[in-house]
Structure 1
Amino acid sequence: MKYRHLILGAGNMARALIPGFIENSDDCEFLVFTPSGDKAKSFALDFGATWIKDLEELRNTHIDYLWACFKPQQLKQVALEIDFLTHPYLTIVSLLAGSDSQALTENLLSDQIIRIMPNTPAQVGLGVNALYKSKSVHQDKWNAFWQAFNSSGINTVFDNEDDIDTITPFSGSGPAYFFEIARILIEDMKARGIDGELAHRMIAGTIEGAGRMLSQNNDAQTLRNNVTSKNGVTYEALESFKESGMEEMFNRAIERAYQRTLELKGNK
């Protein structure tokens, strides 16, 4: 069956996640809209979608899947602007952090909800995505969605919707933490006279190699210990991290991120 998808928003996360879905979808139509038009036009040209200049173009168009890829704070306003597109059989695919299925249903008037907490490595086929689907999602539409979505990366469907909020500061925000660590290391290498391009390549390779080792070994502590010799170079660095309270710092950061997720959800 041919399904029609409307993508609302074309920011970084949409560009990371949806192109692979488009590529693996059979006989589907993809429409994309953003208020300014520029990002939607670029997305359409890059990934074979149809650019919608004005939502009024869709007034007599049946939409099967609505991808919510805008900012969570815009949900109520967007809902007002697309009220003529919503219907009880519309499947909502939401990338909105903190917007639970109840809020999505109340605003978009459908209880067929698929929530995704993606991360940006989906752009290179290595995304780690947490999903939740409401019981109301029609099986045929879920099957079509899952067949296209589950073609790459690590995808986990949670039965408890609250787990999506728990996961968000980890896999959702996690790439930013590694990018920040990489930035610090690269800048330090450059300050010590190492060519910037070489520093970038070496740190990127180090993170990629360490990630592959971790994916093949369940014990991060053992991997860390295998690199560390008593009173050696790595030992001194790790001792400095410990003295600086790095683990506690990470725990505080994760908790702040989690609390922000709840604030977006309205659960302060």
Structure 2
Amino acid sequence: MTFSGGEDFPASLLLVGAGRMGGALLKGWLNLGLDPARVHVLDPALSAEMQAFCAARGVKLGAPPAPPEVLVLAIKPQTFEGAAPALAALIGHETLIVSILAGKTLVGTTAYLPGARAVVRAMPNLPAAIGAGITGVVANAAVTSQQKATAQALLEAGGAVVWLDDESSIDAVTAISGSGPAYVFYLAECLTKAGVAQGLNPDVAARLARATIEGAGALLAATPEASPAKLRTDVTSPGGTTEAALTELMGGDALADLIGRAVAAALRRAGQLSG
């Protein structure tokens, strides 16, 4: 991240859509040193909370007087087509478009914004709202190395950034990291229900499930040199309780097969939405 005066600091930025994800990114940019005087927010449905935040931080509301260096698209995908004509009038020849619109391809974005040349498509996930996410990113051929660095700096406000060689990989990113948090939340639900079924107080079961997943994730993050398989083995004593549980989960690759089918279903749906 090279904010606070670095060369990747955008000279001007227009954020279109400041809902949950767009608003979280805006807060992250300002916390990292982006000058609020360089930022405009365009959102006809801006929440009262975000209006107050922008006023307090000196972020301007409405369209900028000149084409921005960067335009970040963070509106609901289904509203893009209707908003596109007004947005197209705000784009300059050198404007970089950073789109986090799910299902909107690079070609599809430029089709609705004919003045746009350089477009970056990003797929963040929900933890990006607290700066703990990961975003898969792909750029079209018009994006320069400097624009790529600017996009990376902006998207890192939400967490890690992974650049993809081909846009076709975006659907797989969507199925793994985009939808993935829901899989983990469901695991927490299932652990809680199992705990209650074994006689635990529901609040205790929920606390145990939540803390277990939080702790396991923290350990995974703290030991990048260890594979998930190695960590699983470390906690599995031969003949112990964990081995007994894993025998049920892994017997005949039952869980692996289920997760594989779930990811494949998500990937198919992502392809349908992009089509």
TM normalised by structure 1 equals: 0.82
Determine if contact 1:64/1:90 at 8 Å carries over to the other structure: yes
Aligned pair count reads 259
Alignment of 1:221-232 (within 5 A): 221-232=229-240
Q: Is the 8 A contact 1:31 1:49 kept in 2?
A: no
Counterpart check, 1:111 vs 2:117? yes
Deviation at 1:25, TM superposition (A): 4.1
1:172 to 178, 185, 197: 178
Point out where structure 1 has 5 or more consecutive residues left out of the alignment: none
CA contact (8 A) 1:13 1:119 kept: no
Q: What SS is found at the alignment partner of 2:129?
A: helix
Tell me if the contact between 2:137 and 2:162 (Cα under 8 Å) persists in the aligned partners. yes
CA contact (8 A) 1:70 1:96 kept: yes
Q: Which residue of 2 aligns with 1:12?
A: 20
Give the 5 Å matches for 1:227-242. 227-242=235-250
Paired with 1:2 and 1:173, the residues of 2 have a C-alpha distance of 30
* Equivalent residue, structure 1, for 2:141: 135
8 Å CA contact retained: 1:93, 1:113 = yes
Write the distance in 1 (CA, Å) between the matches of 2:270 and 2:259. Answer: 17
Which residue number corresponds to residue 122 of structure 1? 128
Match of 1:185 in 2: 191
Aligned to 1:69: 74
Q: Where does residue 30 of structure 1 map in the other structure? A: 39
RMSD of the TM alignment (CA)? 2.8
Q: Is it true that 1:86 corresponds to 2:91 in the alignment? A: yes
User: Any idea what SS the aligned residue of 2:41 has?
Assistant: strand
* Partner residue in 1 for 2:4: none
Give yes or no for the alignment of 1:213 onto 2:219. yes
Of 205, 209, 212, which aligns to 1:203? 209
Does 1:45 find its partner at 2:52? yes
Quote how far apart the aligned CAs of 1:107 are. 1.1
Q: Give the CA deviation at 1:88.
A: 2.6
Deviation for aligned residue 1:60 = 4.4
1:15-74, CA deviations, whole angstroms, 9 ceiling, x for partnerless residues? 444421232243352222334332xx423433636464xxxx538443332211123233
Give aligned-pair identity as a percent. Answer: 29
Q: Report how far residue 262 of structure 1 moved.
A: 0.9
Given that 2:188 and 2:210 are in contact with CA atoms closer than 8 Å, whether structure 1 keeps it comes out as yes
Deviation at 1:257, TM superposition (A): 0.7
What is the CA–CA distance in structure 1 between the aligned matches of 2:181 and 2:10, rounded to whole Å? 35
- How far 1:255 moved relative to its partner? 0.8
Distance in structure 2 (CA, Å) of the matches to 1:37 and 1:153: 24
The 3-state SS of whatever aligns with 2:237 is: coil
Question: Partners in 1 of 2:128 and 2:147 — Cα distance?
Answer: 22
Q: Tell me how far 1:79 sits from its aligned partner.
A: 0.7
* Superposed displacement of residue 211, structure 1: 1.9
Q: Distance in 1 between matches of 2:119 and 2:179?
A: 22
Q: 1 CA distance for matches of 2:173 and 2:90?
A: 31
